[in-house]
């Protein structure tokens, strides 16, 4: 399961994001469908099971963001998370800005460093837990993980297809 063989590929066509969200935010229903796919119940308080880095306007889980106006549960940098968060969550969802321009607009930094935030995501997820990386490109499998699933997300004819790579921590 480290390569292409045995990895499930899904294709979801979903409605566009809410108008109040910045361009590039994930489409409507994506968050709910991903969490349902992995067996999470929306009636539960998901903050103890799911963490979302670069949380912006997400609805579920423990939210981490540098922007105060997104009302995160933890105001901080996804590249450097608290040491005592190791092996704490069942799932970590990452939806970073895709370009250095959006990094500057949203966070005031020149770029988001995949290797740093994904290493933190792996560190804070329990063994056997999942890391979902939502991006415009296929992201590399982190150390100590296997590729579990690829979800290709389409919206409308004029929007780029996005991909959510889901990794499972060993």
Q: Give the global pTM.
A: 0.89
* Coil vs helix vs strand at 168: strand
pLDDT at 3: 53
Give 31 or 97, the one with higher predicted confidence: 31
What does the pLDDT average to over 8-20? 83
DSSP H helical ranges for the chain = 30-37, 100-107, 114-124
What CA–CA distance (Å, rounded) separates 44 from 73? Answer: 17
> What pLDDT shows up at residue 122?
99
Distance CA 83, CA 165 (A): 25
Asked if residue 93 has pLDDT above 60, the reply is yes
What pLDDT is attached to residue 2?
47
Under the banding of pLDDT at 50, 70 and 90, the label for residue 1 is very low
pLDDT band at 19 (very low <50, low <70, confident <90, very high): low
DSSP 41-59: -TTS-GGGTEEEET-TT--
Spatial separation of the C-alpha atoms in residues 83 and 80, rounded to whole Å: 9
Who has greater pLDDT, 54 or 64?
A: 64
Q: Taking phi first (over 0 means left), then psi (-120 to 50 degrees means alpha), and beta for anything else, what does residue 61 get?
A: left
């Amino acid at each position: 399961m480290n390569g292409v063989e045995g990895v499930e590929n899904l294709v979801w066509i979903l409605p566009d994001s809410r108008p109040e969200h910045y361009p590039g935010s994930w489409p409507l229903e994506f968050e709910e469908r991903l969490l349902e796919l992995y067996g999470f119940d929306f009636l539960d308080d998901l903050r103890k099971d799911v963490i979302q880095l670069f949380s912006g306007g997400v609805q579920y889980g423990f939210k981490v963001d540098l922007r105060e106006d997104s009302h995160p549960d933890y105001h901080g940098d996804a590249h450097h998370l608290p040491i005592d968060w190791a092996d704490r969550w069942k799932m970590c969802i990452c939806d970073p800005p895709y370009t250095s321009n959006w990094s500057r607009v949203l966070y005031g930094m020149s770029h988001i460093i995949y290797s740093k935030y994904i290493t933190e995501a792996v560190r804070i997820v329990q063994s056997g837990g999942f890391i979902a990386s939502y991006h415009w490109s296929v992201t590399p499998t982190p150390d100590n993980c296997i590729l579990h699933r690829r979800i290709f997300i389409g919206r409308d004819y004029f929007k780029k297809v996005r991909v959510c790579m889901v990794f499972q921590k060993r």
